Structure 1
Amino acid sequence: MKFIQPHRRSPGDTGLIPLINVILLMLIFFMLMGRLTPPEPLNVTPPTANTGRAPTEAPILLLIDAEGRMALDARPIEADALMGRIAALADPASQPVTIKADARLNVGSLRAVLTLLRQAGIARVDLMTVGRP
């Protein structure tokens, strides 16, 4: 009578291929479902521009939507509290404030915000735009 010997695995074959497959599938899932940056508190579509430059330093980011609502560093803020919050964040003479305003925002509202920033002692204000392709 002849017995069939079962196939024995070599000592180096531990079945790591299925484990690697599961890990890669989990990585793909989290890459697709996760967000790298938190969502902005306001829906803002900046205007387009033909020319521009990339920011050189980490600015204070002020978002202004089409209705004039504002958010400073991802937190909603009212116009009367803007001066105090900006003064508390950094040295106004050295750190710029970048405004990401919606393209549909009227000029009067933007001018009022610029006046508040000037009164707070901000030396430089940048307007964020989207470049044309």
Structure 2
Amino acid sequence: MKLRRPNRRPPDDGRLIPLINVIFLMLIFFMLMGRLTPPEPLDVTPPAANAGRKPDEARLLLLIDAEGRMALDDRRIGADALAETIAALADPASRSVTIKADARLDAGSLREVLTLLRETGIARVDLMTVGRR
């Protein structure tokens, strides 16, 4: 009497492949659509510099675009409101401001902002640049 052995088939991976495809599609979707940092309120391209240092996180960040519009710590603000906001700080002399100005901004507009910051009592102002490679 001859017994027949059952056919041993390898495990069926046919159901696993669509799951892997879906996971990779979701991964690609979240990589393309997700943002790691919130967008800045103004589109600013700072000028390039040969050397520099990274800004301190405890500083106020002032963005100035090519047309002279300003944003202070993720809020759009005008020149008069900037002076009022800085004057309302507890101790403006102990605070510092980092300016991220667009490279196309004319020097006269930047000078006006620097004068305004000096008049409000800010102790230190840094100008953010992009390093050259």
TM-score range, shorter chain: 0.7 to 0.9
Instruction: Give CA-to-partner distance per residue, 1:12-49, whole Å, 9 cap, x none.
Output: xxx88865664453233112211122222211111111
In 1, the alpha carbon distance for the partners of 2:114 and 2:74 equals 19
User: Partner residue of 1:109?
Assistant: 109
Structure 1 position 75, deviation (Å): 1.4
Q: Which amino acid aligns with 1:62?
A: L
Is the aligned partner of 1:122 residue 2:122?
yes
User: Partner residue of 1:47?
Assistant: 47
User: Partner residue of 1:12?
Assistant: none
In 2, the alpha carbon distance for the partners of 1:20 and 1:94 equals 55
What stretches of structure 2 of length at least 5 have no aligned partner?
Answer: none
User: Partner residue of 1:38?
Assistant: 38
Pairs aligned (count): 127
Instruction: Give CA-to-partner distance per residue, 1:30-88, whole Å, 9 cap, x none.
Output: 12211122222211111111111112343211011111111111211110110122244
After superposing on structure 2, the runs of 4+ consecutive aligned residues of structure 1 that deviate more than 4 Å are 15-21
Moved more, 114-123 or 20-29: 20-29
What stretches of structure 1 of length at least 5 have no aligned partner?
Answer: 10-14
In 1, the alpha carbon distance for the partners of 2:42 and 2:31 equals 24
Q: TM-score, normalised by structure 1?
A: 0.78
Is the aligned partner of 1:67 residue 2:76?
no
Is the aligned partner of 1:25 residue 2:21?
no
Structure 1 position 95, deviation (Å): 2.7
- Find the residue that maps to 2:35 and give its secondary structure: coil
In 2, the alpha carbon distance for the partners of 1:16 and 1:90 equals 61
- Find the residue that maps to 2:37 and give its secondary structure: coil
Q: Do the aligned partners of residues 25 and 99 (structure 1) sit closer, same or farther apart at CA in structure 2, a change above 3 Å counting?
A: same
User: Partner residue of 1:80?
Assistant: 80
**Identity within the alignment, %:** 78
- Find the residue that maps to 1:76 and give its secondary structure: strand
> What's the Cα RMSD here?
2.8
In 2, the alpha carbon distance for the partners of 1:90 and 1:17 equals 61
Instruction: Give CA-to-partner distance per residue, 1:81-118, whole Å, 9 cap, x none.
Output: 10122244563222310000011111111111011111
Q: Which amino acid aligns with 2:56?
A: T
Q: TM-score, normalised by structure 2?
A: 0.78
